[in-house]
Each structure stands twice: as C-alpha cells, then as structure tokens.
Chain A
C-alpha cells in the first residue's frame, strides 16, 4: 500500500491510504471523473440498502455517501426529505446504518462516507461514532451542519480513527474561509454548486466553474461538485473541470418512484451507468 501525506485539521502526518484516496488515484490513472452517489440509508427499508449500494457500484459509482436519516433535514429538498421520512418510519437508526456498512464490507470495498446531520452523531458521541464507523468499514464522514470552526472534538476523533472529514464549501464561502475549510478536510472537498437545498435541477449554476477554480487554487484535494446534478449532460458539462460529481436526489427519486419494486437495483444501476458515461475526463 502506498504512503501519502494527508492533512487533517492542522496536523500533517503520514498514513496508509484510505479507500477514498485510492479511488481518486485510480480515477486519475483511468483519466476518469468520479461518480459519488448519495443514498439515504434505510429507504425503502434497512434490509435493502446493501443491495442498492452494490447496484450503484456495478453501475459505476466510485464512492457512496450513505445518508443517516434525520427527522429535520433543513438543508434538503423534498425528495431527500421524503426519503428520510420513509427510512425513519422503516426503523432506520445510526446503529442500523453501521450494520449495513459491516454487511456491505463483506462484499465490496467501495469507499463509504457517512453523511449525516449533526444531532444524531452528537447524541451517539463523537468518539464512539469514529470508533464504530471505522470498525464497521466507513472511510469518512460529512456532517452537514457542523461548521469547521466548531468541529474540533470531531476532527481529532476522525483523525485518530483514520476517517476522512469531508466539508462543504459554496460560492458564498470567502477566500480565507475556503482555506480554513480545505485545511480541515480530508478525502475530497464538497463544492456546493448552487444556492439552495438539495434537489434535481435543469441547469448547472454559472457560479460552479469559478468556485472550482477558487478551490483548486486553495487545495490539492480532489474537488467534488454537488447539488442539482442529475443527468448525463450535467456530468459532461462538469467533467472538464471537477474531479467528481455528487448525485443524490436523482437516485432517491428513482427509489421513491419504484418503492420496493424488484427492479429497483437495476434501475439505480442503469442510472449510475448513464451518469458515469458522461464523466470521461477530456485530456
């Protein structure tokens, strides 16, 4: 296994490469951009999540963001709000999400980023979260409403368990702040392409490219663009400049439309494949 220097918080250290880093290294070799697929864990039911993740992986997803459902998802649009509701009604808890990751690890090495609102993780406890998430086989986490200036106990726990802390930046993030967030981030930097909540949109915001350029100047981390990306044309449009596309609501819309249907995995797989086909990097 190769060695690399990774910045976590303000400390520089050397460690074995995490699955997220390996994925981006492979993508660079293949001259491809990454597809990061978001899935709300437990929708339509906790026992189906593993097969859905495997289907996304077969379709070409490079990294999975596994969403812990939350009762009050203030940053999400209606599609993920409803997904979260269904997952909670189906009895999904963070403990069950850990079970899913453990189960998945028996069959796949796809990188997993735990995606959650802060409160469920705060309740679970940062130390216990990092210990259990790492032990289950997760590779990183993104807590949507934990800002970098308040992240300290979380960051050190993530670091001691070799988990990548992923943070968001947006077009409104000031240059100084962008530096600060990039410095605390690991794995990749999540660029919010547009103002607004999560959800499917027709066009990519014009501010996305300038944001990528600013972020590129601030960090060597891979840059993943998300919010509103849902179709192959979006992938083709961002492939020249971003390292990965994050797609969530488009997948969750399929989950919603095919509630419990047997062909749900196939449909997710083909959507992932279609999106991935738009992500060849032009050389």
Chain B
C-alpha cells in the first residue's frame, strides 16, 4: 500500500509534511556530511558486515521472540509475544543505533562523541560503544533525569563517559538535546552528535530508524517461523520513537498487520501532565524537526510529565506523525499508574521485569488482549527494568519492609 513508502524520507528529509531540517545554518554542513557518509556506508557491504558482526558478538543479536504463555492465559484473549530487546547488552534497543552511528563517526574520522539521554539507556549504550572504539564521550542529561535514573549515571561514568547535568527548562530529555546541540555547533569538526532517537533534523530520523529496523526484520522472520503467519497487531512504546519505528517499519507493507504506538499518558490529560503528543499536541518545529508537538497557544514548548524518563519528550519522531496521519499506525497513551501495574503483572506472570518505558506497551497489550481472542500481538519489550528499580520502589511501597 502507498503508505509503506519505503523511499521516505524525501530529499529534504520529509515524511509527507513532517521531518525536515530546521537548524541553525552552521549545522547544515555537518548534517550534510553525516548524510553523505551514511549513504556511502549503506552501499558498502563491509560496513554491514562489521555492524552485523558487532550486533551478534557484542550486543547479542538476534534477540529472542518469546511467547508469554502464562500472561496470555491469564488475560484469556490474544496471544502476547515479546520481542526481547531487553536481553541486549546494556539492557535496551538503544545499542543497535549507537553501534551503527559509532561506525559512522569512525568513517568520518571524528574522535569525540556527544549524546543526549533521557532514561539513560541511550547514554549507557553510547558510553559503551565509545569504550569499545576508544572514543571520547560526553553525555548530556537533564538533572531531573539524573536524579530518577541515578544508576545509569553511574554506569556511564564507570564506562568512562563524562556526564553533564542540564538544569535549564524542565531539566529532562528536551533540554539535554538542546545542550548537546549547543556543544555540537562549536565542535562539529571533530565531534559526532550521536542522537539516540528517531527525531531531530534530517538525516537522524532516517539513520536511527534504519539502525533500529533490525528489531522488526528479525521479529518478522521469527514470528513467521514460529506461527506460520504474521502478527495481527504490533505494540511498542513511543518516546522519540526509535524502538517503535524499528519494529513497525519492516511491517509497513504487510497491510493486515496493525500497529499501535503507546505514548506516556502521565498523570492525566492536562497540558504539562503527560507526553501524549498526538492527542494533546499540534504540529510544530522543535529541535530540527516538524512533528506533533506539545506547545501552548504562543508556540512555546510545553512542559511534559511521565514516570518514565525515556518517554518524557514534547515532540515525536516525524515518521510516526506521518504514519498516524496516513492511518497506518494508531497512537494511544497509557497512564503512569497503568504502566506500573503492567510492570508488576509481567514480572509475576513471566519472570520478566520490563523497563518503565516498555511497560507502557505491555499495559496496552493487557488492555486489548481480553477482547482479541484468536489474535496474536507482538509487543516490543524495548528494555529491561533494572535501571528503574528506584522508581518501582518509590511507587510500590507495599513491597518494602
């Protein structure tokens, strides 16, 4: 079908009207350089061979496809299958992209890496690949996120990265991205900005998606092999949107496979209490890309809230905006409380503690399964919950003492 559009983005980096490259003029040249080097790498079998080798032997790909027997039986409806990105080295899908971009940095001869991080998973993955390749690494992280993901801050430092706290704005992911951009406008000659989500200016949404497509490519093959058919529904959480686009993209041409992205519903529907860009936002430009955006009537960026740092962002990857407008994917949101319940449920029925972010996708599966007897859901378990134990403890007082 038309919306599969494997040729997107167009030459201006657009997915329909979304995406693009809205950046200070000085960054146009480094972005063009990145795009050129990426296109060259994409056509180079040696690049793919090296990445595949690292994915296999360093990260632990392919990740398992796992059928949640007890959970599915308990819900009494759809079968729930998990793509186990939580089993990857460093604990989340983020390493797929960090490895790919580190290879691009090396190709460009850039010895210094900067990155933003929200939950800290992208920061940890980036610190990890920098250690692997011997690159200098600086991670920008909102001070609020440093507080709620303190374990990941320590991990990054242990891996040799410098972690710089950002106090401006809401002191979360958005502010970390701004600070990384400010570093980059002065340092691009020797520094690669290793953006971790499928957002920001072109070519990032395309590059990050392409490095995350391995999730969907593997899952599609594994699912076919296990079931002899494709899943009825894909479910993934959407912060910037990298794990979800990685899962969705290889299925876009499979018109019978429905897709749902789950945003952070936070505490409720009031602006400032959530990160539900599709239901609460309007198209606008933030940090280089045109997409759905939480903003006020004057075009100022709204504050966001989510219990999960990785979903707490005012904009969303532009390709998701396009898929949504085309009706190819559906986007819903999940309250903090429901995500916490999903953490407990998956832990107890399957012995898998999900990341706070991924729990939003689990919650949606739990909600839909009872009404979907005979269907098979494929949920991306994008990360593991080890990093979130502090948050779980704060929110599950009944388990203490």
A residues sitting closer than 8 Å to B (CB atoms) are 70-77, 81, 85, 88, 93-95, 118-124, 144-147, 149-150, 167-174, 177, 181, 192, 195-197
Known: A145-B285, A195-B185. A70 touches B300 (CB 8 A): yes
A147 CB contacts on chain B under 8 angstroms: 21-23, 25, 28
User: Beta-carbon contacts of B181-208 to A below 8 Å, as 1s and 0s?
Assistant: 1100111110000000000000000000
CB distance from A14 to the nearest CB of B (A): 29
Q: Which residues of B contact A (CB under 8 A)?
A: 12, 20-26, 28-30, 168-169, 174-175, 177-178, 181-182, 185-189, 282, 284-288, 293, 295, 297-301
Q: Is the interface of B mostly helix, strand, loop or mixed?
A: mixed
How far apart are A180's CB and chain B's nearest CB, in angstroms? 11
How many Å lie between the Cα of A121 and that of B300 in the bound state?
10
- Which residues of chain A are within 8 angstroms of B178 by Cβ–Cβ distance? 72-74
Residue of A at shortest CB range from B174? Answer: A72
In the complex the two chains form, is A168's CB within 8 Å of B295's CB? Answer: no
**Are B298's CB and A94's CB within 8 A?**
yes
**CB atoms of B25 and A88 under 8 A apart:** no
Chain A residues within an 8 Å CB radius of B187: 195
CB B29 to nearest CB in A, in angstroms, measures: 4
Residues of chain A within 8 A (CB-CB) of B25 are 147, 167-170, 173, 181, 192
The CA of A71 and the CA of B302, in the complex, are separated in Å by: 8
* Residues of chain B within 8 A of A94, CB atoms compared: 298-299
Residue of A nearest to B288 (CB): A145
Whether the pair A123, B24 counts as a contact (CB closer than 8 A) is: no
Known interface pairs A95-B298, A123-B295, A173-B28; 6 further A-B residue pairs with C-beta atoms within 8 A, sorted by A's residue number: A72-B178, A122-B284, A145-B23, A147-B28, A172-B188, A195-B185
CB neighbours (8 Å) of A171 from chain B are: 26
30 contacts across the A-B interface (CB closer than 8 A)? A71-B169, A72-B286, A72-B287, A74-B177, A74-B178, A74-B181, A75-B24, A75-B185, A81-B168, A119-B284, A119-B295, A119-B299, A119-B301, A122-B285, A123-B297, A123-B299, A124-B298, A147-B21, A147-B25, A147-B28, A149-B21, A167-B25, A168-B25, A169-B25, A170-B29, A171-B26, A172-B30, A173-B28, A177-B28, A181-B25
Contacts of B284 in A (CB 8 A): 119, 122-123
Q: In the complex where A77-B182, A172-B29, A174-B29 touch, is A120 in contact with B299 (Cβ < 8 A)?
A: yes
Q: Which residues of B contact A76 (CB under 8 A)?
A: 182
**Closest approach, in angstroms, between the C-beta of A254 and any C-beta of chain B?**
22
A145 cross-chain contacts in B, Cβ below 8 A = 22-24, 285, 288
